Amino acid sequence: MRAVIASVPAAGWVMEIVPVGEVDYDLVAWLADELQPRFGVRSTIGEPFGCRAEWFDPSRGQHCADLILDSLVDWRSARGTMEAVRFWSLGVADLNLYAADRPFVFGVATVGGCCALIGIARLRDGAGPATEHCFRERVLKEAVHELGHVAGLEHCPASTCVMYSSPGLAETDRKTTEFCAVCTLRLIECLNDGS
């Protein structure tokens, strides 16, 4: 059951889902449809954002999430969308990501900012063809989580809240795709503060 954030001022808010590199378009379109009611904003699919060699660390066999996120912010700025406070970008990359302080991450975000990134490669672990639903649910959880950070939310101590920290798939699978009551109220406050 999808929770709709009815009291969020949907008019004027836009969420752009940006494929980073080669990503399944059907998955991106499904994600855009799923995210729209959760944040009460209009979602669109942006132009694909190409991969860059400098993001890849051959010694790790992974891509640096922070470098990709910085590139996404710079790309937005060059397009003139940084001034649009009500405009968010979510990069979706079919890559194995790491961050400076962690061996792998499912996503990163500019907290209270403009952009987020999720890496979906590790979300497939244990989610084979027979469990496509499990994979998509993980993708949705990570997208909602990172966009929650963009809205200004911090991690939540409630293990079933989508804003609960997910250092691994066990935590991701345990939480839901929804905000708890406290985070829902905070989300509404954050979005109203930006209106």
Strand order in the sheet with 87-93: 42-45, 14-20, 87-93, 115-119, 107-109
In degrees and rounded to multiples of 5, residue 83 shows phi and psi of: -70, -20
Residue 154 annotated as catalytic:
no
Neighbours of 71 (CB within 10 A): 21
Query: Which residue in 142, 146, 154, 171 is the catalytic one?
Result: 146
Annotated catalytic sites, by residue?
146
